[in-house]
Amino acid sequence: MIIYTVKNGDTFYSIARKFGVTVAELERFNGLPNPEQLVVGQDVLIPTDGKIHTVERGESLYSIALSEGITLSALINANPDLQPPYVIYPGQIINLPQTANKRTIVVNGYAYPNINRETLSKTLPFLTYLAIFSHRVNSDGTLGEVDDGDLIRIAKNGNVAPIMVVTNTESGGGFSSETAESILNNQNVRQTLITNIVNTALRKGYLGVDVDFEYIYPQDRQNYNTFLSALKTQLDRNGLRLSTAIAPKISATQQGTLYEAHDYAFHGEVADKVIIMTYEWGYLYGPPMAVSPYPEVKKVLSYAVTEIPSEKILMGSPNYGYDWTLPYVSGRPARILSINRALSLAYEVGAEIQFSERSKAPFYEYSQNGVDHIVWFENPRSIAARLSLVDDFALGGVSFWTINQLYLQGLRVVDDMFDIEKVI
């Protein structure tokens, strides 16, 4: 597969001719809702034999060709965007003309029960696990109900393992520190919740449980560890897996309610997989920036692998972007966009997509009705850059939040760079 960046005057027809593929192949492979509405700076995936490579410091085209066992001319031909004198820079994504052996990784996708079934069916071939969000816990240890039977059945039919997600969220959607406190500080309630989780998972046919407790009070850290340990014991007895979702920390002493109760070393010991939520640097009420900037993700992973076995770690990856109004005003929310909507909006407003080499993420600016905006989102190059960290740190895989909006290009990049493990 080759990543091609759209230039002025490009169409799907001209791109298809350039690479010797049909327009139909190009449209099917990319899965864009409006393939005729290309935007300068947009990425198009070319379905050819090959893979992608993130340039490291000190590398040249010659050294890359030598290490991959290919000719320099073949490497140049696979990268039509490159022009003499063929200077490349660290972090740049280039195309390799042949596919080498690929490592096998786990791919998890979070989904809400209302996910469009066509979207789900198109996504399942790229997943190991489908994590269905979510069973809310109550302060007495009972669980809220989820209409998940259809998703469990569809996942299993698609050879994807369904995972039961348990959260301390409230009916309005936010995470409740108080609910977690009520449960974690009462041994009887903790045991009631564990029993309810295990019984529900077995009754519904889940293959594992993902615990996503967030904004736990720092003083409840040890009780949370105790709860996870007891839950793990019961899950093991019933042949079920345990994963946990944790905040993106860069040190053991990082301050804040989001971080302090998440004990990286303990999660690495007790859980089968640990999902690190490496996104939301750019967030709904925050200032404009990439949602998952490469340097910040790398900092988190650099710390994480010192506490958690790397093969247990799944790197979180966002499947969305934000549209901020400028100038930024603290407390004024951005507008959340699917990646495909970010692309169609760029076309509607006549924007050109740019790519931040520092954040390794796409963005564009536009004005509408006298108001300035900036959009940060994801594209194949940003996803490929972060996926290179999965290799660099020998991680177990990646986890998408969420798969409710289909973004086929992102899934294709994962599939091109890795083999995807199937456990059922």
Whole-angstrom distance, CA of residue 6 vs CA of residue 52? 17
Buried-state track 381-416, b at ≥16 Cβ within 10 A, e below 16: bbbbbbbbbbeebebbbbbbbbbbbbbbbbbbbbeb
Is residue 214 among the annotated active site residues?
yes
- For 259-288, the DSSP string reads TTT--HHHHHHH-SEEEE----SS-TTS-S
Whole-angstrom distance, CA of residue 201 vs CA of residue 165? 10
Structure tokens at 275: 């999902």
HSE at residue 322, side-chain half, CA atoms within 13 A, is: 22
Q: Is 197 helix (H, G, I), strand (E, B) or coil?
A: helix
Structure tokens at 314: 């799944």
Residues 6+ apart with CB under 8 A from 309: 268
Asked if 356 and 317 count as a contact pair (C-beta separation under 8 A), the reply is no
The torsion of the CA quartet 157, 166, 397, 123, rounded to 10 degrees, works out to 40
Q: Which of 25, 214, 296, 311 is catalytic?
A: 214
Whole-angstrom distance, CA of residue 265 vs CA of residue 183? 22
Ramachandran sector of residue 71 (left: φ over 0; alpha: ψ -120 to 50; beta: rest) = beta
- Cα separations in angstroms, 275 against 284, 313, 395: 21, 6, 11
Crossing angle for the helix pair 187-204 and 177-184, to the nearest 10 degrees: 100
Asked if 103 and 84 count as a contact pair (C-beta separation under 8 A), the reply is no
Measure CA 10 to chain center. Answer: 29
Residue found by looking up tokens 């507008």 in the block: 335
Buried-state track 15-36, b at ≥16 Cβ within 10 A, e below 16: bbeebeeeeeebeebbbbeeee
**Active site (catalytic) residues:** 214
